[in-house]
Amino acid sequence: MAEKSVRAVFPGSFDPITNGHLDVINRGMKLFDELIIAVGRSPVKNQLFTPEERVEMIAELVADMPGPVRHSAGEIAKGVIHKLSNGAGVSVESFDGLTVEYAAKKKADVILRGLRSLTDVQYEFQLAMTNRAVAGIETVFVMTGEQYGFTSSTLIRQVASLGGNLSNLIPKNVHNRLQQRFHKLKDRN
C-alpha cells in the first residue's frame, strides 16, 4: 500500500520570524512530507512588517536550507516549493481570513503550532479545540528548544526598537531588516 504523504500548515503572524519559529519549522520538516508556512494577513495593531515583507524574510531563510533543489527567494515567495534532501517540501505564502478555511483550501492534513511554555498551552489548547470543532482538523504541537522558550516576536520588536543585541535569537536577515526599519522610523520622528 502506498504511504500517505502528510501536508502540514504552520500558521502565524511571524512579525518577524524568530529562531524559535525556525526551530519549530525544522522539527516539523522531520515529521511531515510537506510544510506550508502561512503568514496571516489579518490586520492587527502594532504590526511592524507588512505580510509581503514577512513572507520575503521567511523565503530567504527557506532558500538557504540545505537541499538539492534551490529556488530564488522570489520564486519561493510566489509559491514554488523548496524540496529538501529528506524529500520534504517547504514553502511560504500569506493568507487571509480563517486559518481552518485556508488549511482546507490547501488540503492540509494538520496544523502545526509551537509551544514554548505552559502559558502557551492554555491559549493553544483553546485554539486547537475550536479548529477541530469547526473544521475537524487536528493540530500537532512541537516543543521548542529550551534556548528559545522565552523568545517572542513582540519582545524582539521591543528590544530591537531600543537597539539591543538580538543575534542569538533571530536570523541575520531579520536582524538587518529590523535595524533598517528602526533607523527609518527614528529618522521620521
User: Which residues make up the interface to ligand ADP (CB under 6 A)?
Assistant: 12-14, 18, 20-21, 23-24, 113-114, 116, 120, 144, 148, 151-153
116 as an active site residue: the answer is yes
Name the residue nearer to ligand ADP (CB basis): 22 or 76.
22
The nearer residue to ligand ADP, 19 or 76, going by C-beta atoms, is 19
Least Å distance, CB 144 to ligand ADP, is 3
Closer Cβ to ligand ADP, 71 or 113, answer by number: 113
- Give me the residue whose beta carbon is nearest to ligand ADP: 20
Active-site residue, selected from the candidate residues 21, 71, 157, 177: 21
Distances (CA, A) of 141 to 96, 105, 113, 154: 23, 21, 5, 21
Distance of CA 179 to the CA centre of its chain: 20
Q: Are the beta carbons of 108 and 137 closer than 8 angstroms?
A: yes
- Taking alpha carbons only, the member of 40, 42, 32, 34 closest to residue 14 is 40
Q: Is 27 a catalytic residue?
A: no
Catalytic residue among 82, 116, 157, 177: 116
Q: Is 21 a catalytic site residue?
A: yes
Other C-beta atoms lying within 10 Å of the C-beta of residue 89: 19
- The SS3 call for residue 150 is coil
- Name which of 24 and 57 has its Cβ closer to ligand ADP: 24
Which residues in 43-52 are b (16+ Cβ under 10 Å) and which e? eeeebbbebe
Question: In the bound complex, what is the minimum distance in angstroms from residue 179's beta carbon to ligand ADP?
Answer: 20
Active site residues: 21, 45, 116, 153
